[in-house]
Amino acid sequence: MIGRLISQALADPRSQQPITVAFRTCQGARHPGRGGGYRNEVVSIRAGAAVGSCAIEPGTGGDDLFGLTGRPVADGLRHPDPAIRLAALDAFLLAVQPHESDPAAEAVRLPAGDSLARSLARAHAVAGLLPPEAERVAVVGVVNSLLQALRDRGVGYVPCDLKGGSTEWGEPIVTDAVAAADGADALLVSGMTLGNGTFEALAATGKPIVLFAQSGSAVARALLGQGVTAVSAEPFPFFWLTGSDSQIFLYRSAS
């Protein structure tokens, strides 16, 4: 799926626009009242007004990022690092169609506030995209605020993440998301799967997929109707970078 989108982008003359800025964002977070914290690392590429992004495991990938400045987006699309390829594809798709002007997008305001309040506001918007009949969900890419939103709705879940470990409530996190999909009515999937090569196996399960995407927010949008039933798209700058209000963009498949 991602390969097809990259091929289509490379065939478009607009892929020759230059990359003007390439950057990496690193942060650590621990919300008040939470028992643990986490780290985020994101590689981003800017082309014109568009910023495309892909999250990576801290300390991995993105090594050639800064050498891309001044070169065409097409060079990023051909890059051997999958995270850089995804960030370049995301930038290309956002340059072609920004979320702000997409008639299919529902803009949702995340109000100003502290990091936990904004995290929970996003989580409740994302949880609202699940099919109403979904009683048990495999959550791929554990975000404790998202699990809290599911708990508040009475939706059962199986937390899945390649790192394993446990949730804020001591629940074991399974590492085989494809196996966990068997007992789920739907999958709630992080956009990080678009960059680490795990998304297509999840799509092959045939279960309805809701993507919550900071990584590849426009790439996720392009996958609507291809096993993806809904998308929460959050382009850079992300909610955790500021206490000011911001927007996410919700999409639902017409099929």
CATH code, domain with 143: 3.40.640.10
Q: Answer yes or no: do 157 and 241 share one domain.
A: yes
Domain that holds residue 24: 2-98
Q: Is residue 25 domain-shared with residue 125, that is, in the same domain? A: no
Average pLDDT over residues 57-82: 89
Distance CA 209, CA 77 (A): 25
Do residues 81 and 126 both lie within one domain? Answer: no
* Residue linked to tokens 């060079």: 75
Please tell me the predicted confidence (pLDDT) of residue 254: 78
Q: Read off the CATH number of the domain in which 81 is found.
A: 3.30.390.100
Distances (CA, A) of 24 to 10, 15, 89, 95, 166: 24, 22, 16, 20, 28
Measure the CA–CA gap between 66 and 44, rounded to whole angstroms: 10
Give residue 28's pLDDT band: very low, low, confident or very high (50, 70, 90).
confident
Average pLDDT over residues 35-64: 84
pLDDT, tens digit (0-9, with 9 covering 90-100), for 163-208: 899 998 999 999 999 999 999 999 999 999 999 999 999 999 999 9
Q: Which residues of 113-124 are buried (b: 16+ CB within 10 A; e: fewer)?
A: eebbbbbbbbbb
Whole-number pLDDT of residue 33: 65
Q: Is the pLDDT of residue 62 over 70?
A: no
Q: Could you tell me which residue, 129 or 64, shows the higher pLDDT?
A: 129
Q: Using one digit for the tens of pLDDT, what is the confidence trace for 106-141?
A: 999 999 999 889 999 999 999 999 999 999 999 999
Q: Does the structure show a pLDDT above 80 at 105? A: yes
Instruction: Give the rounded percent of residues in the chain with a pLDDT score beyond 90.
Output: 84
pLDDT of residue 76: 97
Residues 116 and 204 reside in one and the same domain: yes
15 and 109 belong to one structural domain: no
* 86 close to 210: Cβ distance less than 8 angstroms: no
The stretch 95-116 carries a mean pLDDT of 96
Domain boundary (98, 117, 137) is at 98
DSSP assignment of 162-224 = TT--B-TTSPBPBS-HHHHHTT-SEEEEETHHHHHT-HHHHHTT---EEEEESTTHHHHHHTB
What is the spatial order of strands in the sheet that 228-233 belongs to? Answer: 106-110, 246-252, 228-233, 209-213, 186-190, 136-140, 156-160
Question: Which of 21, 31, 64, 57 shows the shortest CA–CA distance to 42?
Answer: 57
Quick one: 52 and 114 in the same domain? no
Residue whose pair of structure tokens reads 């399974």 in the numeric block: 174
pLDDT in tens, 197-255: 999 999 999 999 999 999 999 999 999 998 899 999 999 999 989 889 999 999 999 76
Domain boundary among 98, 116, 135: 98
Q: Are residues 84 and 155 in the same domain?
A: no
Indicate if 215 and 125 belong to the same structural domain. yes
**Helices and strands: H and E segment counts in the chain:** 9, 10
pLDDT at residue 61 in the model? 66
Average pLDDT over the chain, rounded to whole? 93
Q: Mean pLDDT over residues 1-22, rounded?
A: 97
Does residue 26 carry a pLDDT above 90? no
Number of domains in the chain: 2
Q: Which helix or strand (DSSP H or E) is residue 146 part of?
A: helix 144-153
Q: Which amino acid is at 3?
A: G
